[in-house]
Amino acid sequence: MKKLTALLSSAVIAVSAVPLTVSAASEPYINYAEALQKSLYFYECQQAGPLPDWNRVEWRADSTMDDFITGGWYDAGDHVKFNLPMAYSASMIAWGLYQYPEGIEKCGEMENYVNNLTFVLDYLAACDLGDEVVFQVGNGQQDHTWWGPVELYDYGMADNGNTDGRPYYAGTKCSAAFGEMAAALAAGYCALQGRSDKTDYYLEHAENIFKIADTAKSDDEYQDSDASGFYRSSHFYDELFWAANWLYKATGKQEYLDKAASYIPNLGKELGSDELKYSWSMCWDDCMQGGMLLYAQNTGNSTYIGRVKKHLDYLVSGVKKLEGGLAHFDTWGCLRYAAASGFVAAVACDTLDLGDTTAYENFYKTQIDYCLGDNPLNQSFVVGYGENAPVNAHHRTAHCSWNNALENPTENRHILYGALVGGPDGSGNYVDDRQNFINNEVACDYNAGFTGLLAKMTEEYGGTTDPNFPEPEQRDAEFFVEAQIKQSSTSGVSLSLKFTNHTAWPARRVDNMSYRYYFDVSEVVAAGFSPSDITVRVDRDQALMYGEDCAAVISDITQYKDNIYYIEVAYPNGEAALPISEGRHQCETMLALVFPDYQNGWDATNDYSNQDLLDSEDPVITDKITVYNDGVLVYGVEPDGTTPENTEPTEDAKPLKGDVNLDGKVTVADLTALNKYLVNLGKLTSKAADNADYNSDNAVNVFDSTALRNKLLV
């Protein structure tokens, strides 16, 4: 007991001492290049339509292929293509490339950057129909009725009763959305000079879309559409101003600079004043500050340089700051505003004569560093980057629920690398909760200014990308059978067999699936009967609910080896089981095997597939009912021990004990993370907790800290 007390005391001392020493001695390491690398990957996670061959996301596939215009980005955690925030995102990313190409080149991300930018610009250009322009594809009200992976969107919608397909919205009186689209295409023209052969194509559509927007000077059609319930436009002159300035940069035509000047009287004003507004952030609904910066660059006019400076002074000393220095403009997705404002400040410092810019430089560095983990919570707000990174971002496809349920499974099945979550609330608190879409949703516009600012920071401070990124995910079972013995007696056995489709790499319909239920006929033979004398009765075929072509196909009794036989249940049509809802992710077949004597002799206890079922009154997932695709074993263990290839995790995929911060190494940083958790200063994901259980006693406590500390001291 004395030894145990002494050990506990020394462990507690280690817990209290190590974090304080380490945190006092160093700041979090900020790797801007890695963050940029992952932020670009996030946009590949958002790609709609046919995926390009350079898409790196193993859990994504082609989707919404019947859209009026394919391509583009899904907006956020949903599956709608809202052109207003999408075009804003594209314009900010293009600006980042235009302003800071050296940083992107330096870290080796130019190809990925250009690929992702051209992908979205191709879509925006395709939305130009000549006399009118598409401003949205998909319906937000319909979309938000279903929570599932986008690869199965059509099936999910049909299961929910929406069978009319995805609508699209087009018109002429949508000046905000069209101004933003024109700005994105013109900015893309500027940024991609020498990097793409599509620049003239982008500029052609930028000028036409701008002409439609400027002629209408109205948002009437936009505000009367589904878009207004999600991204309602507050005004449109700021987008026209923004677009005209980019078009001037692209073409050098004075008419565009004149247009920009003509919009200034209609730009936002400070409340109760005629002064041009300076007290807000660059964002999807307000491009005024970005436009003002461009106008100051384009004209060199000291008045407008002064307007930019007044905005920067507001960013430094006017907007509310959380502990740690984060500019908190709004509760909903606060980090997007902070990152975009930081980017505007950085560009202003690098392009205008503002005098002493020290305060502005501190501002933008504080904003980006806060996002990346330099904050009171020691919390990265970027999925898959840094310590304590979010896991459960509000995102349908990354979560990959199989039954249209926000809460199931508990943790997202995929790592949405690079996604900047909404961020802390007004008190600086944050919970990694998928159901909290205000603070934990992600969106294209969240990452927009963030990506541009990362290009700047990489140019100035450097950093290294991960040469092995993205590493393959460790997959869970995509197909299996959940089985239950409903009745067992000497006359036979009746079974509930639920074939399950939990596909996620990617989520998909799969035809020609089957499974085998194995049983031993020794008692049948001993009684003088043949296995062919066994009666097979089908009591339920759920697949018939979806049409005759979905019906299960039940095989004859087939010999496996010696006295072990099986019944095979096949689904030629993959619609029999789809991971889209509670009623569809499993397909039940109820079978009965009846002993030919009908009175006595059947023995269910010697049947191979019953081994996991006999002691349970509830359904059981068993690997002794094997699953096949096109006759190839994909799940389970056959009676002779045959398993699918690559069933066992690789060495790299197995847990690394002590790797608490999940960086693939065991260092003092892991001990720090563990000790912070033990004194309630940090939290652990389930994977991190597994690694933190250093002594493998199924608990994370001071004994693990002591063992890990001793290991590091060796």
The pLDDT value given to residue 12: 33
Identify the residue whose tokens are 């689209």: 181
Least confident piece of the model among 88-92, 164-168, 186-190, 702-706: 702-706
Judge whether residue 440 has pLDDT over 60. Answer: yes
pLDDT-based confidence at 599, cuts 50/70/90?
low
β 564-571/513-520 pair status: antiparallel
Contact 644, 626 (CB under 8 A): no
DSSP letters along 446-504, please?
HHHHHHHHHHHHHHHH-----TTPSPPPPP--SEEEEEEEEEEETTEEEEEEEEEE---
Q: How far apart are CA 537 and CA 592, in angstroms?
A: 5
Omega before 85 within 30 of 0, i.e. cis? no
pLDDT-based confidence at 654, cuts 50/70/90?
very low
Residue pLDDT, tens place only, 298-323: 999 999 999 999 999 999 999 999 99
The pLDDT value given to residue 113: 98
If you average pLDDT over residues 400-426, what whole number do you get? 97
Q: Which domains does the chain have, with CATH numbers?
A: 2-28+651-713 (1.10.1330.10), 32-461 (1.50.10.10), 479-635 (2.60.40.710)
Judge whether residue 562 has pLDDT over 80. Answer: yes
Q: How many helices and strands in the chain, by DSSP H and E?
A: 23, 14
Identify which of 639, 372, 692, 601 has the alpha carbon closest to the alpha carbon of residue 516: 639
The pLDDT value given to residue 687: 65
Q: Which residues are designated catalytic?
A: 78, 394, 432, 441
Residue pLDDT, tens place only, 221-250: 999 999 999 999 999 999 999 999 999 999
Mean model confidence pLDDT for the chain = 92
* Global confidence as pTM: 0.86
Identify which of 470, 445, 579 has the alpha carbon closest to the alpha carbon of residue 159: 579
The pLDDT value given to residue 655: 60
Q: Which is more confident, 709 or 326? A: 326
The pLDDT value given to residue 55: 98
Identify which of 160, 164, 148 has the alpha carbon closest to the alpha carbon of residue 508: 148
pLDDT-based confidence at 13, cuts 50/70/90?
very low
Q: How far apart are CA 359 and CA 352, in angstroms?
A: 15
If you average pLDDT over residues 452-458, what whole number do you get? 98
Judge whether residue 9 has pLDDT over 70. Answer: no
* Coil/strand/helix, residue 335: helix
Least confident piece of the model among 81-85, 607-611, 668-672: 668-672
What is the sign, positive or negative, of the torsion defined by CA atoms of 434, 73, 139, 502? negative
Residue pLDDT, tens place only, 46-91: 999 999 999 999 999 999 999 999 999 999 999 999 999 999 999 9
**Based on the number of CB atoms within 10 Å of its own CB, is 685 exposed (0-12), middle (13-18) or buried (19 or more)?**
middle
Judge whether residue 696 has pLDDT over 90. Answer: no
If you average pLDDT over residues 467-479, what whole number do you get? 96
If you average pLDDT over residues 295-299, what whole number do you get? 98
Judge whether residue 649 has pLDDT over 60. Answer: no
pLDDT-based confidence at 598, cuts 50/70/90?
low
Least confident piece of the model among 17-31, 175-189, 336-350: 17-31
If you average pLDDT over residues 274-281, what whole number do you get? 97
Judge whether residue 11 has pLDDT over 50. Answer: no
β 626-629/632-635 pair status: antiparallel
Judge whether residue 159 has pLDDT over 90. Answer: yes
Judge whether residue 15 has pLDDT over 80. Answer: no
Q: Which is more confident, 135 or 687? A: 135
What is the sign, positive or negative, of the torsion defined by CA atoms of 246, 252, 253, 254? positive
Residue pLDDT, tens place only, 322-381: 999 999 999 999 999 999 999 999 999 999 999 999 999 999 999 999 999 999 999 999
